[in-house]
């Protein structure tokens, strides 16, 4: 049975942590889904990990849709969320509705995710929810604002900044978001936000107290060229791939592969 937004809210009530990861193509999506991941995000981090950009800013809505369609074909159970990319929703609630509508109609995703909170994104989330679109929020470190923030830095470190993040979270919940990503904020702030909300928080670099955890899958697999300090690599696929390719190259050069069958 496919995971629903209501089920994720139930997981929070039951204290059952949500397992989330990102995906950018069919093969990765299929592996994550078969492994039992609850929530798969076609995050715009794919601009960096799959397309080689240094930030998430260049990726377009068309490119996100292209990747999301491939991911959709690999997913049976997990709830699928697709990021609204930079400048596909910031202009107005109307622009956001058009972009989110395209994602939902053409990719088969369950929900969209957007960055930002109170006051900027509240009206936008309300508009999308009124139209029947499931929306996930994303606050704390919002990578689409990397230049404004002065880098991929931890957010919410002062009392005032922490208060603002808590306010954003509450406002997004009231606007109808079904869940919120908390990125790179102090553990105690993530705990406070998670306790305050009835909808689940999904943390990345936000400590152990969130209702769920997400990692960029390329980081988990040891494939990315750069990994944030909070990310954990569970294997080194880059090395495994390089070694396999070197073995293949060696066998081809030595006339050992393929073996003659006649």
Choose, by CB under 6 A, the member of 5, 22, 88, 107 that binds ligand KIV: 22
* Residue 142 within binding range of ligand KIV, rule CB under 6 A: no
Residue 26 Cβ vs ligand KIV, minimum distance, rounded to whole Å: 17
Instruction: Classify 44 as helix, strand or coil.
Output: coil
SS3 115: strand
Query: Which residues on adjacent β-strands are paired with residue 114?
Result: 137
The reply on whether position 41 binds ligand KIV by CB under 6 A is: yes
DSSP reduced 3-state for 200:
coil
Question: Binding site residues for 3-methyl-2-oxobutanoate, as ranges?
Answer: 44-45, 83, 113
* CA–CA gap between residue 169 and residue 240 (Å, rounded): 41
Site string for ligand KIV, 202-221 (x = CB under 6 A): --x---------x-x-----
Distance CA 136, CA 185 (A): 18
Residues in the interface with ligand KIV (CB under 6 A) total 11
Per CB under 6 A, 107 contacts ligand KIV: no
DSSP helix/strand/coil, 173: helix
Query: Which one, 87 or 249, has the nearer CB to ligand KIV?
Result: 87
Q: Provide the pairing of β-strand 79-83 with 39-42.
A: parallel
Binding site for ligand KIV (CB under 6 A): 22, 41, 43-45, 83, 138, 181, 204, 214, 216
């Amino acid at each position: 049975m496919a995971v629903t937004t209501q089920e994720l809210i139930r997981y929070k009530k039951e204290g059952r942590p949500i397992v989330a990861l990102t995906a950018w193509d069919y093969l990765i999506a299929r592996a994550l889904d078969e492994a039992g991941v609850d929530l798969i995000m076609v995050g715009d981090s794919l601009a960096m990990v799959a397309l080689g950009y240094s930030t998430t800013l260049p990726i377009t809505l068309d490119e996100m849709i292209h990747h999301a369609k491939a991911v959709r074909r690999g997913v049976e159970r997990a709830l699928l969320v697709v990021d609204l990319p930079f400048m596909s929703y910031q202009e107005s609630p109307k622009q956001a509705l058009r972009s989110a509508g395209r994602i939902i109609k053409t990719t088969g995703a369950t929900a969209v995710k957007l960055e930002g909170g109170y006051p900027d994104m509240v009206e936008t989330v309300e508009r999308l929810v009124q139209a029947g679109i499931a929306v996930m929020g994303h606050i704390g470190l919002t990578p689409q604002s990397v230049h404004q923030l002065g880098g991929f830095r931890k957010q919410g470190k002062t009392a005032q900044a922490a208060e603002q993040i808590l306010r954003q979270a509450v406002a997004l919940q009231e606007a109808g978001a079904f869940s919120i990503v908390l990125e790179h904020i102090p553990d105690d702030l993530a705990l406070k936000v998670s306790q305050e909300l009835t909808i689940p928080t999904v943390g990345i670099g936000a400590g152990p107290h969130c209702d769920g955890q997400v990692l960029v899958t390329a980081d988990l697999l040891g494939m990315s060229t750069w990994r944030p300090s909070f990310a954990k690599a569970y294997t080194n696929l880059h090395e495994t791939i390089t070694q396999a390719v070197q073995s293949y190259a060696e066998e081809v050069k030595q006339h050992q592969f393929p073996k003659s069958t006649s």
